[in-house]
Structure 1
Amino acid sequence: MVRARTRHHRRLRHRRFQSTYLPHSSPLGRFRLVLLSPLVVVALSLMFNKQQGNAEPFQNFVLSPAAHSPAWVPTLAQASIPVSITRHGGQITLNGRKLQIPWSQRQQSLGIADAGLIEALGIELLDTSDVTQQPVEWFSDHRTTPLNLATWLTKQYRYVDISKLTQQFGWRVEVQGEDLQISTPEAQVNAVRQGPQTWGDRVVIDLDQAAPWRVSEQQGETTVTIDARLNPAVASSFAAKAGKQIKSLKLEANGNRTVLRLSYANGLRPRVWSLDNPNRLLIDVRPDSLVERNILWAPGVRWQQRWVQINSGRFPVVKLEVDPRQPGVSLRPIVSSSTGNVGTAPLSATIQRLEGIAAINAGFFNRNNQLPLGAIRSESRWISGPILNRGAIGWNDTGEATVGHLSLQETLMTSGGQRLVMQSTNSGYVGAGVARYTPDWGRSYKTILDDEVVITVRQDRVVDQKRILKAGQTTVPIPSDGYLLVVRADNTVLNTLAVGTSLQLTGLTQPDEFSRYAQVLGAGPLLLQNRRVVLNPQSERFSTAFIQEAAPRSMIATTAEGTLALLTVHNRVSGAGPTLAEIAQIAQRMGFVNALNLDGGSSTTLYLGGQLLNRSAATAAPVHNGIGVFIQPNS
């Protein structure tokens, strides 16, 4: 009996490992079980498919819990040659629900963009210093049963291999065209409990097994949808009540899903997370819900979250630290419109259109006419000129950067010897004098004020002059071989700029140091220079209301290590966001060398690989411009 059971166990063990191990009868039997190289396995499988005449071996790729072993797949660390992407798509069907989430197939691996894992399944990313591995937690305990998943990068996303999740939790995965279909085992909600905590409110959902969940946030409201049927007894017995932070809680059954709707005070963000043994989902509504993180997300890109104490205020800080010296990593200013300088869009839409990996909102703009109000220089071209000698940062791809007050002085010399200083260049900031608009502004210029005189210059000669009485009703083409001069409230210069006049343009930045940098972004006020607080918003002509406001903030800073930090700071625990003085103190407390305040409030947005890190997309306002991070994974 014992021998029969032993033989049976050996047969089971042989079947379990037959895809990656040689059986005992192998000529290499003296080594007992011999692990094949993952590259050899892939090569043999490809050769076998070719012999079978299978032109597309992964056309109907199916990944089931028992059929796929992660040992099959060579990681980039194991392989000496690049592992190519064989297929990819932009849609996932999870338990019948279609979601616009990128996925990628790399040889025998299927990966989902990590933002999609968080959004669609509720998976939590844990700290890591290994760019090829991402530890996660999902109905598991990372201290006893760590889930380390392989990762790979494209220009826009980081993909996480779901093989181990499929095996451990019994998912069935199938590729149909550009749709990745995932089915998880049926689950049931067996209990829902609600109770006060010292820090706020907690809701606990007991499940009979692990189940995906999805969080949808609006201002002051969150909906949690769980792919688990609600036990009718739970639905009839649960009595929701208001709590310390929760204003209302509703529990609903929706077919095979359970829906919880919570309302709470504005400024809060519930944390939804899971535990195992037994399987539970927890919803914590608390003013300090930020989870500290330190994830080396890509070579040269680190995602960190932490709390910073300033006096009696405790502030949540979300930061991307970017190393422009890393091969293939670069930063540059970005604008929302692909055809000109007018317009706003969600930051995520802008950076996705430009195929970038990360971005932060940046300079100021007029929300009414959607025009820029500050310096934007990209690849040595002034998309928008600096204004009011405000703070700016310039950088290059070698890790050099400069921070200071910036102005641009452009001067026209006429053939008659007159000298005209430009009031602004490519700017939505208007005042009396002569402004210049180049093709970098867009294909045309639409008048901003009433009674503007628009002068067309081609090949350094005035060819046309026209007065336009009403703002916003006339569009004038900007010549590709010249520029427009717009005269506002200064008729004395019109004779100087008569048709036929030849012009010579000169320009310089103050300080001249900025002329060395192809990328420049202006906002303000300056916060730090050489580790010292230099905050003086009055000198940069910011309004009193702006100076006194306590609101969410965005910032760019330089570090002693030669990296650039992009970060956002939101409301302090049980209070408002930081003031300008407090954001300067936060920058100093975090050890930055130089720091510049960026546009804030509802504009404050930090994006990485398909997700907003600092806020719900529903609460983020459209912005005119930002700073984008771009990578070339094969560099």
Structure 2
Amino acid sequence: MTNPRIRTHRRRRYHQRRLTYVPQTFSLKRVHWILTAPLLVVALSLALTRQRVIANTFEQPIPQKAFLSPAWVPTLAQATIPVPLTRQGGQITLNGRPLDAIWSQRQQQIGISDAALARRFGVNLLSSNDETQQPIEWFSNTADGTQAPLKLSTWLTEQYRYLNISTLAQQFGWEMQISGANLQINTPPAKILSVRQGRQSWGDRIVIDLDRATPWLISEEGNAAVITLDAPIAPALLRGFSGRPGSYIRGLNVASSGDRTVIRLRFADAARPRVWSLNNPNRILVDIRADALQEQSIAWSPGMRWAQQYVNLGGDRFPVVALEIDPRSSEVQLKPIWGNPDMKGTQPLVTTAQRSQAAAAINGGFFNRNNQLPLGAIRRDGRWMSGPILNRGAIGWDENGNVTIAQLSIQETLLAGNGNRITLRSLNSGFVNAGTARYTREWGASYTPILNNEVVMTVQNNQVVRQQQMGLAGQTPVSIPSDGYLLVVRSDRTASEALRAGTSVQIEMAVQPDNFSRYSQILGGGPVLMLNGQIVLNPTAEQFSTAFIQQAASRSVIATTGAGKLMLITVHNRIGGAGPTLAETAQITQQLGAMNALNLDGGSSTSLYLGGQLIDRPASTAARVHNGIGVFVQPRL
């Protein structure tokens, strides 16, 4: 129950702040003077430099680069006066409630990351072809074309894209104040007028009528969602509403929480919620439907586009979320990423991407879920972090945007000074079998036995200096020398006897196909789906199991197009059914215009990250992964 005195106090506090709000240092007159007097830019630049020195006594500038949309600044001033971030932070206090959200300030403009604006405020992003202007939908009638969408200017840093909320705040009467790393936002008090529920041909709809626009946030956990609105509900309305099961709704509860209202939903496996808003009158709509994906195509940054669509295959419709990237763009780079300093362990893709300072990422190759070690090729900047296995598919690329996809293998041969010649089974891999494997410092500072009773030889300066009989798996780490490597012998007495301490050794390496040697970045997956525009799927040749081949599950794919673009693709469950099989994945990828394509780890691992959030699924439903492919952006000066 909401106390009327609380609502009255909040409205009085809001109006007092509006009356007492003091603008920041730069006035509109000064901005006007800059725009209309370009001949004095040099003098102004000197003055600003002096002003910046004085300001630094009280506040250090943020070292992270950020670049304002070119459309925002006059050409002359843009070319002459750098415009760095003045402040940034990771928390927003919205109407008294602290929220984790990325924001930044640039001159007098305040930007919130598009992920935070969507998840924490309820703003829907609409399709665009200009990365410097993002159209949005928030309490507006844009779907029927009766109202043009509000467009927010953007600026970009290495990890996030910020939307300038100045126009949004002015239009809806928001108050903003910065306190350290915290951005405080207060919106005009709103209240709920009614709550309605009804069945639709496509599912269920809940309508919340409001007296004015107000933020909301949604969190999902499995088949449940919690929607929190910054508006109270009257006790009489609460008593008069009773949620009931629907086509997909399995449970619905509306509760009051101080100045907020909380809606808790449970729904069927086949459905997900889509929450959006309209005006005239103001209302929030919660649609529970099987086809909840909002189709869109957004120019997110130079060289990268975010697309969401349904792909029809036979009688089925599959939701596809993808990033299209120009690998030849000087503003975009791709590199393999992983979650920990060494090659053991898993992390949520969101964590790995943020630690790597990537703007975008997709989950990568396979790994052993028990010991959390990689099972496939990972090469970064010319260094083999993990070698390929079983002649499985891999993708290689270089800094010039050249890309290749094929089955990949490495053959290492150990030449001993005593005349023995030993074929090595693997390089820096969690894949184990009888024979000799090699582990270099790329694996980490040490190696821990994967199987019982391994024999570990330490090689320094091309000579075996030590041989150790190990005991139980997972115990007794052995240091990997910086000037050598370890040889690990498993169930092979002949190799152990041939490599006694004092034996000199040399390594020969052959890569097949040999053109992969030219690619500094490589990541393995499999199977290969497409080559030269044709489906070439042959998972048996890549030694995948029958169960894996027949499985229907969510999928991750990396592909190239005829125009030289890269696509990072995720495909989830078809409407009313399971995810795609490998054969269906290949057909979907072909429909998307791919020429060459490689399957990556899938199922619960399938994850696509962009600008601070997963864009293909709720983060709570995604498994931890070992590695991925990170997309690094270099904003324009």
TM > 0.5 fold call: yes
Given the alignment, which residue of 190, 196, 201 partners 1:198?
201
Structure 2: how far apart are the matches of 1:48 and 1:428? 57
Given the alignment, which residue of 147, 150, 153 partners 1:150?
153
Cα distance, 1:157 vs structure 2: 0.5
Write the mapping of 1:35-50 to structure 2, written as runs, cut at 5 A: 36=36
Structure 2: how far apart are the matches of 1:230 and 1:409? 69
> How many residues get paired?
599
Cα distance, 1:90 vs structure 2: 1.2
Write the mapping of 1:519-558 to structure 2, written as runs, cut at 5 A: 519-558=521-560
1:98 and 2:98 matched: yes
1:412 corresponds to: 414
Structure 2: how far apart are the matches of 1:607 and 1:120? 17
Write the mapping of 1:603-618 to structure 2, written as runs, cut at 5 A: 603-618=605-620
Write the mapping of 1:442-461 to structure 2, written as runs, cut at 5 A: 442-461=444-463
1:188 corresponds to: 191
Larger proportion of helix: 2
1:495 corresponds to: 497
Task: Report SS of the residue matched to 2:152.
Answer: strand
Task: Report SS of the residue matched to 1:495.
Answer: helix
Write the mapping of 1:126-145 to structure 2, written as runs, cut at 5 A: 126-142=126-142, 143=145, 144-145=147-148
1:219 and 2:215 matched: no
Task: Report SS of the residue matched to 2:352.
Answer: helix
Structure 1: how far apart are the matches of 2:42 and 2:220? 43
Do the aligned residues in 2 keep the contact of 1:303 with 1:320 (CA within 8 Å)?
A: yes
Write the mapping of 1:304-383 to structure 2, written as runs, cut at 5 A: 304-338=307-341, 340-383=342-385
Structure 2: how far apart are the matches of 1:123 and 1:214? 9
Structure 2: how far apart are the matches of 1:211 and 1:305? 27
Task: Report SS of the residue matched to 2:498.
Answer: coil
Do the aligned residues in 2 keep the contact of 1:38 with 1:71 (CA within 8 Å)?
A: no
Write the mapping of 1:479-518 to structure 2, written as runs, cut at 5 A: 479-518=481-520
Q: In the TM superposition, what whole-angstrom CA distance separates every residue of 1:369-425 from its partner, at most 9, and x where no partner exists? A: 000001111111111100000011101121211111100001111112221111000
Structure 2: how far apart are the matches of 1:131 and 1:257? 35
Write the mapping of 1:6-45 to structure 2, written as runs, cut at 5 A: 20=28, 36=36
Q: 1:494 to 1:76 in 2, by over 3 A?
A: farther
Structure 2: how far apart are the matches of 1:373 and 1:317? 26
Cα distance, 1:127 vs structure 2: 1.0
Between stretches 234-243 and 139-148, larger displacement belongs to: 139-148
Do the aligned residues in 2 keep the contact of 1:76 with 1:83 (CA within 8 Å)?
A: no
How does the TM-score come out when normalised to structure 1? Answer: 0.90
Do the aligned residues in 2 keep the contact of 1:20 with 1:71 (CA within 8 Å)?
A: no
1:122 and 2:122 matched: yes
Cα distance, 1:596 vs structure 2: 0.5
1:80 and 2:82 matched: no
1:172 corresponds to: 175
Do the aligned residues in 1 keep the contact of 2:396 with 2:404 (CA within 8 Å)?
A: yes
Cα distance, 1:79 vs structure 2: 2.5
Cα distance, 1:42 vs structure 2: 13
Cα distance, 1:145 vs structure 2: 3.7
Q: 1:161 to 1:450 in 2, by over 3 A?
A: same
Q: Structure 2, unaligned stretches of length 5 or more?
A: 1-25, 60-68
Structure 1: how far apart are the matches of 2:551 and 2:617? 20
Task: Report SS of the residue matched to 1:372.
Answer: coil
Q: 1:227 to 1:608 in 2, by over 3 A?
A: same
Given the alignment, which residue of 561, 580, 593 partners 1:559?
561
Cα distance, 1:266 vs structure 2: 2.4
Q: 1:253 to 1:368 in 2, by over 3 A?
A: same
Cα distance, 1:48 vs structure 2: 9.2
2:250 corresponds to: 247
Q: In the TM superposition, what whole-angstrom CA distance separates every residue of 1:435-455 from its partner, at most 9, and x where no partner exists? A: 000000000000000110001
Structure 2: how far apart are the matches of 1:620 and 1:153? 27
1:300 and 2:303 matched: yes
Q: In the TM superposition, what whole-angstrom CA distance separates every residue of 1:112-168 from its partner, at most 9, and x where no partner exists? A: 111110111010111111111111110013442421111001111011101001100
Do the aligned residues in 2 keep the contact of 1:454 with 1:467 (CA within 8 Å)?
A: yes
Cα distance, 1:19 vs structure 2: 6.0
Do the aligned residues in 2 keep the contact of 1:20 with 1:35 (CA within 8 Å)?
A: no
Do the aligned residues in 2 keep the contact of 1:317 with 1:569 (CA within 8 Å)?
A: yes
Q: 1:72 to 1:126 in 2, by over 3 A?
A: closer
- What is the one-letter code of the residue matched to 2:449? T
- What is the one-letter code of the residue matched to 1:138? W
1:159 corresponds to: 162
Do the aligned residues in 1 keep the contact of 2:41 with 2:77 (CA within 8 Å)?
A: no
Do the aligned residues in 2 keep the contact of 1:216 with 1:224 (CA within 8 Å)?
A: yes
- What is the one-letter code of the residue matched to 1:183? N
Q: In the TM superposition, what whole-angstrom CA distance separates every residue of 1:492-550 from its partner, at most 9, and x where no partner exists? A: 11121111010111101111011110011111111001111111111111111111111
Cα distance, 1:474 vs structure 2: 1.3
Q: 1:71 to 1:137 in 2, by over 3 A?
A: same
Q: 1:91 to 1:57 in 2, by over 3 A?
A: farther
Q: In the TM superposition, what whole-angstrom CA distance separates every residue of 1:59-114 from its partner, at most 9, and x where no partner exists? A: 7xxxxxxxxxx999627898334421111111111111111211111111110111
Structure 2: how far apart are the matches of 1:518 and 1:139? 48
Given the alignment, which residue of 443, 448, 465 partners 2:467?
465
Do the aligned residues in 2 keep the contact of 1:559 with 1:565 (CA within 8 Å)?
A: yes
Q: 1:189 to 1:36 in 2, by over 3 A?
A: farther
Task: Report SS of the residue matched to 1:366.
Answer: coil
Task: Report SS of the residue matched to 1:434.
Answer: strand
1:571 corresponds to: 573
Structure 1: how far apart are the matches of 2:361 and 2:124? 22
Do the aligned residues in 2 keep the contact of 1:75 with 1:150 (CA within 8 Å)?
A: no
1:4 corresponds to: none
- What is the one-letter code of the residue matched to 1:80? A
Task: Report SS of the residue matched to 1:270.
Answer: strand
Cα distance, 1:231 vs structure 2: 2.1
- What is the one-letter code of the residue matched to 1:129? N
1:66 corresponds to: none
Cα distance, 1:227 vs structure 2: 0.5
- What is the one-letter code of the residue matched to 2:344? V
Task: Report SS of the residue matched to 2:540.
Answer: coil
Q: 1:131 to 1:477 in 2, by over 3 A?
A: same
Do the aligned residues in 2 keep the contact of 1:252 with 1:259 (CA within 8 Å)?
A: yes
Task: Report SS of the residue matched to 1:440.
Answer: helix
Q: In the TM superposition, what whole-angstrom CA distance separates every residue of 1:445-487 from its partner, at most 9, and x where no partner exists? A: 0000011000100011000001112111111000000000000
Do the aligned residues in 1 keep the contact of 2:448 with 2:474 (CA within 8 Å)?
A: yes
- What is the one-letter code of the residue matched to 1:90? G
Structure 2: how far apart are the matches of 1:131 and 1:124? 16
Given the alignment, which residue of 593, 600, 603 partners 1:598?
600
1:474 and 2:480 matched: no
